Structures are given as C-alpha cells and as structure tokens.
Amino acid sequence: MPWNRPLIIGFLLVVLTLTWWRLQPDGEEVRRSRIIMGTVVEIMAAGQSNEALEAAVEAAFAEMERLDKLLSRYNADSEVSRLSQSTNGGEVSLSTAEVLTLGLAISQKSGGAFDMTLGKLKALWDFDKEAPTLPNAAELSAALSGIGPKALSLDGQQLRKASPQLQLDLGGIAKGYAVDRAIAILKQHGVANAAVNAGGDMYLLGQRPERAWRIGIQHPRDEKDVLETVQISNRAVVTSGDYERYFEKDGVRYHHIFDPQTGMPARQCQSVTIVTDSVALGDALATAVFVLGPKAGLTLLEQFPQAEGLVIAADGSRHVSVGWVSYQVVP
C-alpha cells in the first residue's frame, strides 16, 4: 500500500505519543511502611504499573525481614545469636559474611572505633528498658573484657571468635545492609526510581518525579528543624545521632553509640551524616565517625573517596569533608 499523507501523519502521531509517554515521569507511586529491625522502614517506588510496583515493594520488604531474622541479636534463633552462644564461632551464611567482611574492614580502618563485639555492653546498658540505669565500673570492665577488632576474624564463611563469652552486635551496620538489599531487589524488579528509609538509613534511587531527591537532615537538638538539605541520586544518606536512643540523668545525656575504649556513650558528636554509594558502608562509617569525633572522623573519611560527611560536634559546631558541598542545597 502506498504511503499517503494521512497515514504518515497518523504514524508520526503514534511515534510522538509513545515518545511523550516514555518521557513522562513515572505515573504510579506506591508507598508502604513496616516495622523491621526495631524501626519504621518506608519504601516508596515509582513506575508505570501499580501491580508491578506492589510486587517489587513486597519482595523488598520480604528480603529485609529475612535479614532481620539472620542478623538480629533480639531473635534467639538468628545467626548472630547462634554465633554469640557458640564457643569459637562457626559457619555463616553469605549475607552475614558480607556484613561481617565490611564491618571488620571499617573496624580495622577506624582503629576499633567501629566494633561489632559490643554485644555484652549493649545488653548491659539496655536502652530498651523502661528505666535504664548507669552501669558501674566493674560491670563496664566485665562487658569490655576481650572485645575489639582482633576478637573476630572471617575466613570465607567461617567466623572465628576469640572467646566463648564474646557477644556480637551488628546494630551499627545491619540496617544499612538491609536497605542496600531492598534497593537491589527493587532494581531486579525493574524499578528505577525509589526511596528506602530505615529510621535514618536511606538510599535514593533515580529521582523523584521531575527532580532529584532532596533530603532534609534533622537538627540534632530540634527535631522539627532541618539543619541542611542535600540533593542526591543513586546514593545512600545515613545519620547517626545521640538523639535516637537516649536517657538523661543528672543533666547528662546517655545514648546508644559507645566508645569501645571506655564502654561509655561517645562524647564528641551530636550527629554525623554520611553520603556514599552503599548504605551499609554509610551506616558503619557514620557510627565510626561519631565515635572518633570531628577531627579523627573526617580523617578516616579521607580514606573513602566515595564518602562525604557532615559532623555536628558536641559543642554544636559544624564540620564537613571537602566534597560535602557538592551535595548541599544552598537555600
């Protein structure tokens, strides 16, 4: 059939319509939240098919729940609990090995500021108790005995721990790893634009409709106030703060990020925010930098060219890594 003008115009219209359709921001949006790893996890995914998005989000939550069962010290059957109860370690799953490998690297690079052997100390302080109390010196030294980066080693999937008493706590890295895995599952389902937030451990995939993701970083002393805003895409943003879990006694704030040298809450920071390419790395680094304080913490970050950080020190002063400015939205 010869091409005539109405046919050509019709054909062009179809092409133009399809192009327009493809250039449109994702039409559908699914937002769901669940409590996993003791925190509210929110997943937002955008795309063309509501059904496909629902399936992707459900699969991402299922992966996070699987990891919670594996890595939680609150679940007596978890792999972490089994290792804590073991005499000298044992074989671990691939997921646990991946978390431990990264955690041990950060532990070593931070000179032990990041430490996954603080299980006993965490139980001693017990911030989940209704009325937490201060441990005494004897209790602290018992909880710190034998801990440290050298007390754990991993050979493939074989974990060795230095003493039967050593208790693991992956609370400073597990949430971040779970968010990374949720993002990987969303991508496997073809999702290109999404946000996953597990209580301040976030990954922003692609962009939100029509523009890059913007994240407000909470003021550590005023929860309604945004300290500053970053604009990012395909990046993790992780914050560790002394305002997340704490109690006050005689005017002193006691919070859940410990200095492994003393067993006391680390004193040099109010909050640390890290922007980097993986949430697990950001999670471990945020905790490590918090313990090290602004000066040594920012020196640690120099070893990670893919990571930038914002530190609010104990006196409220602001410290940033050199590349932080590239993410900052100037009002």
Q: How far is the CB of 115 from ligand AMP (least distance, A)?
A: 4
Only one of the segments 49-57, 79-87, 107-115, 227-235 lies at the binding site for ligand AMP (rule: CB under 6 A); that segment is: 107-115
Q: How far is CA 182 from CA 139, 209, 288, 316, in A?
A: 38, 20, 24, 34
Beta carbons within 8 Å of 102's beta carbon, 6+ residues apart: 173, 177, 280, 281, 284
Residue nearest to ligand AMP (CB): 171
Among 258, 304, 324, 327, binds ligand AMP (CB under 6 A): 258
DSSP code for 47: E
Q: Is 125 in the site for ligand AMP (CB under 6 A)?
A: no
Among 36, 56, 92, 118, binds ligand AMP (CB under 6 A): 118
Q: Is 286 in the site for ligand AMP (CB under 6 A)?
A: yes
Q: Specify the residue, 194 or 285, whose C-beta has the smaller distance to ligand AMP.
A: 285
Q: Is 283 in the site for ligand AMP (CB under 6 A)?
A: yes
What does the alpha-carbon distance between residue 79 and residue 68 come to, in Å, rounded to a whole number?
Answer: 10
Among 283, 289, 292, 300, binds Mg ion (CB under 5 A): 283
What does the alpha-carbon distance between residue 186 and residue 16 come to, in Å, rounded to a whole number?
Answer: 30
DSSP code for 323: G
Other C-beta atoms closer than 10 Å to the C-beta of 260 total 21
Q: Is 172 in the site for Mg ion (CB under 5 A)?
A: yes
Q: Which of 160, 158, 120, 163 has its CA nearest to residue 139? A: 120
Q: Is 198 in the site for ligand AMP (CB under 6 A)?
A: no
Tokens (6 digits) for 166: 């050593």
- Interface residue list for ligand AMP (CB under 6 A): 113-116, 118, 122, 169, 171-172, 240, 244, 256-258, 260, 283, 286-287, 291
